[in-house]
Chains A and B, each alone.
Chain A
């Protein structure tokens, strides 16, 4: 009798411990229990190109988007055309995009529409950088949440030199452009400009 009582007591302690443990873990999880997803802040992005090389997916889950209400629909689009290209047409030799993921369509004189084929986009940010330096900065990178497998530690976040990756709530999974180039977006630093300070003893 006394033995069965001890066993029951042990079971009770075990069950109570389990419930307490689960409850404590749930309590500790806090109020912000919403699912979080990785996203990159286009205002911090410096277009270094690592999004295309450091994602565990091939091609990367980072894609280029075009914010059409900022886009100038330029005929001479620096995001689309290779610098120094002879013709402004869809010839492969004239395109900046390494995978020809930007589709150029004639709308009316002198406007052309640029749509990104996300299947082909590798997130290399070449077009983003060119549009930011010379154009309206309507191209920007975002993680496509339907492609991203949401690794616990994002390998691009670890490699990002400008700390642009952060976790966002699943209810607002994208960070859109605000449109003001000069004040909000970091201008490219990587190889477009030399380092600001000279190296060596001061």
Chain B
């Protein structure tokens, strides 16, 4: 009696569950008579062992160490060239360019700026390692480890020298790119460095038409203007440059005292060799000091102006966010300005979210772009101020020296220097 009652109670308790299950399925699951058993439900294929980035981080460390040795001890342009080919092959074509230290900047920024987002130790080491090497040895990462740099280093066959003024002006593009990338991460609009990566399509032998075209254009341009991406766009290069500026050791053109023979003058396609200061430019230090003082006084106004300009730019900037883009599209469709719907708008209209909710979300995102835009504008103005301060004093140099901030440590100048104990021809 007792067991039967228990069974009855159990059946009654389970009834809603079974009814519910039956209501969910249009066709009841079969009751097999032949002893057939269901195949393994979830053949959980784990991610490949190398995808967590740990082996890549180890390879990165070894590559950075070898490059450091090649730059300082072996002083071999040929060795650096071979290392460049290895990095392009491994980090570029074999590992398909992901994850790279340039892109890892965004993961670290996301971990800092966005709540509930972290970054794995492997990715963090990708970001930190080249910077630490840069702090001690200069930009050895750029020399022959970065897959983006490697690609351009190999195609720079007939580089022309562009004027330092143009070089500096275009170099501001890197700061804008970094600012936009941080803005994209902070507002949740996306990872722009990865989205606009020009070479990832070439590594993977397929991407959108626009990205492949951008990659090819940069490579063709790179034949004549060496490393255009690194010099005018690379956001990570800024951080490396800052570190390299304070580096303990750095590539030297002459291993022993420079004889000022001028042979290396044209060897650097990156305008990264500072020449001895010509007599007529050596000026009274007071003039420089006065200029700096004026700039320091003017800088708060410039930064405020930049921030205001950035704030006013929030509307076009916010269109980079998919939700804002969607909200504008839906609004235009509702107004009749766009008469053909697309997959995105059809999907949105079929989903649960209402138009009002979408617009409200878009407005709150636009608010984020107001703050972010102001920061971006202020940052750009600050950078311009700092650049002007740098230009207003003439440094006193006696010998040919690599410019620590912009030198890629590529070793192109080695073979030109007659002071090299055993000249190594590249």
Let me know if B25 and A111 touch, CB within 8 A: no
Query: Contact at B118–A161, with CB atoms within 8 Å?
Result: no
- Residues 59-84 of A, flagged 1 when their CB comes within 8 A of B and 0 if not, give 00000010111111110000000000
Q: How far is the CA of A148 from the CA of B194 in the complex (A)?
A: 16
Complex Cα gap A134–B108 (Å): 46
Q: Is the CB of B335 within 8 A of A201?
A: yes
Q: Is A200 an interface residue (CB 8 A)?
A: yes
Majority DSSP secondary structure for residues of A touching B: loop
CA–CA, A69 to B118, complex, Å?
Answer: 36
B122 touches A35 (CB 8 A): yes
Decide if A193 touches B132 in the complex (CB within 8 Å).
no
Q: B26 contacts the other chain (Cβ, under 8 Å)?
A: yes
For the complex formed, measure the closest distance between the CB of A182 and the CB atoms of chain B, giving whole angstroms.
7
A58, B42: Cα distance in complex, Å: 24
Q: Chain A interface: which of B73-81, B144-152, B271-279, B338-346?
A: B338-346
- Residue of A11, A67, A199, A202 with most chain B CB atoms under a 10 A cut-off: A199
> Cβ of A115 and Cβ of B116 under 8 Å apart?
no
Closest A residue by C-beta to B342: A161
Known contacts A30-B111, A70-B25; decide if A18 and B135 are in contact (CB<8 Å). yes
Distance, CA A173 to CA B44, complexed state (A): 8
Q: Check if B131 sits within 8 Å of A149, measured CB to CB.
A: no
- A152 contacts which chain B residues (CB < 8 A)? 98-99, 103-104, 106-107, 191, 194
Write the nearest CB–CB distance from B131 to chain A, whole angstroms: 7
B195 to chain A: closest residue by CB:
A153
Mask, A129-161, CB within 8 Å of B = 1, is 000001110000000111011111101001001
Given A28-B112, A36-B120, A152-B106: A200 in contact with B347 (beta carbons within 8 A): no
Report the Cα distance A46→B344, complex, angstroms.
11
Interface residue stretch chosen among A19-27, A92-100, A119-127:
A19-27
Q: Is the Cβ of A149 less than 8 Å from the Cβ of B51?
A: yes
State whether B336 touches A173 (Cβ < 8 A): no
Say whether B27 contacts A33, CB under 8 Å: no
Q: Does A86 contact B (CB under 8 A)?
A: no
A25-B190 CB under 8 A given contacts A30-B118, A145-B47, A173-B46: no
A34–B347 touching, CB < 8 Å: no
| Least CB separation from A178: chain B residue | B24
In Å, the complex CA distance between A84 and B131 comes to: 63
Contact assessment for A32 and B346 in the assembled complex, using a CB-CB cutoff below 8 Å: no
A3 interfacial contact with B, CB 8 Å: no
B45 touches A56 (CB 8 A): no
B209 within 8 A of A: no
B90 to chain A, nearest CB (A): 14
A180 to B208, CA, bound (A): 37
CB within 8 Å of A: which B222-242 residues: none
Cα of A165 to Cα of B135 in the assembled complex, Å: 38
Bin chain A's interface residue count. 35 or more
**Given A71-B29, A146-B45, are A48 and B343 neighbors across the interface (CB < 8 Å)?**
yes
On chain B, the residues within 8 Å of A31 by CB distance are 118
Q: From A182, which residue of chain B is reached at the shortest CB distance?
A: B24
Provide the bound-state CA to CA distance between A21 and B130, in Å.
13
Point out the residues of chain A lying under 8 angstroms from B387, CB to CB: none
**A107-B36 in contact given A33-B120, A150-B98, A151-B194 (Cβ < 8 Å):** yes
Check if B420 is an interface residue, CB within 8 A of chain A.
no
Known: A26-B124, A33-B120, A152-B191. A58 touches B111 (CB 8 A): no
Instruction: Count residues of B near A (Cβ-Cβ below 8 Å).
Output: 77
CB distance from B211 to the nearest CB of A (A): 9
Interface centre among A56, A113, A135, A182 (most CB of B within 10 A): A56
A25 B128 Cβ-Cβ under 8 A: yes
Q: Is the CB of B118 within 8 A of A33?
A: yes
Q: Does B398 lie at the interface of the complex (its beta carbon under 8 Å from any beta carbon of A)?
A: no
Residues from chain A with Cβ under 8 Å of B343 in the complex: 48, 50, 161, 190
Which residues on the A side are within 8 Å of B322 (C-beta)? 158
Known: A69-B41, A111-B32, A199-B341. A148 touches B47 (CB 8 A): yes
Chain B residues whose C-beta falls within 8 Å of the C-beta of A46 in the assembled complex: 347, 350
In the complex formed, the residue of B with least CB distance to A22 is B128
Instruction: Flag whether B414 is at the interface (Cβ < 8 A).
Output: no
Question: Given that A107-B36, A189-B347 are contacting pairs, would A153 and B47 also be in contact in the complex, using a CB cutoff of 8 Å?
Answer: no
- How many Å from the CB of B97 to the closest CB on chain A? 9
| In the complex, chain B residues whose CB is within 8 Å of the CB of A187 | 350
A202 to B333 alpha-carbon distance, docked (Å): 10
Contact of B26 among A22, A72, A186 (CB under 8 A): A72
Report whether A56 and B191 are in contact in the complex, using a CB–CB cutoff of 8 Å: no
Indicate with 1 or 0, residue by residue over A34-55, a CB within 8 angstroms of chain B CB atoms: 1111000000001010100000
Report A's interface with B, CB cutoff 8 A.
10-11, 14, 17-18, 21-22, 25-26, 28-37, 46, 48, 50, 56-58, 65, 67-74, 107-108, 111, 113, 115, 134-136, 144-146, 148-153, 155, 158, 161-162, 170, 173-174, 176, 179-182, 186-187, 189-190, 193, 195-197, 199-202
Sample (14) of A-B pairs whose CB atoms are under 8 Å apart:
A17-B135, A22-B132, A28-B108, A29-B108, A30-B111, A32-B116, A65-B42, A69-B38, A70-B29, A72-B28, A108-B32, A150-B47, A158-B322, A170-B47
The 8 closest A-B pairs by CB, nearest first: A189-B350, A32-B118, A72-B27, A161-B347, A153-B194, A153-B191, A145-B47, A146-B45
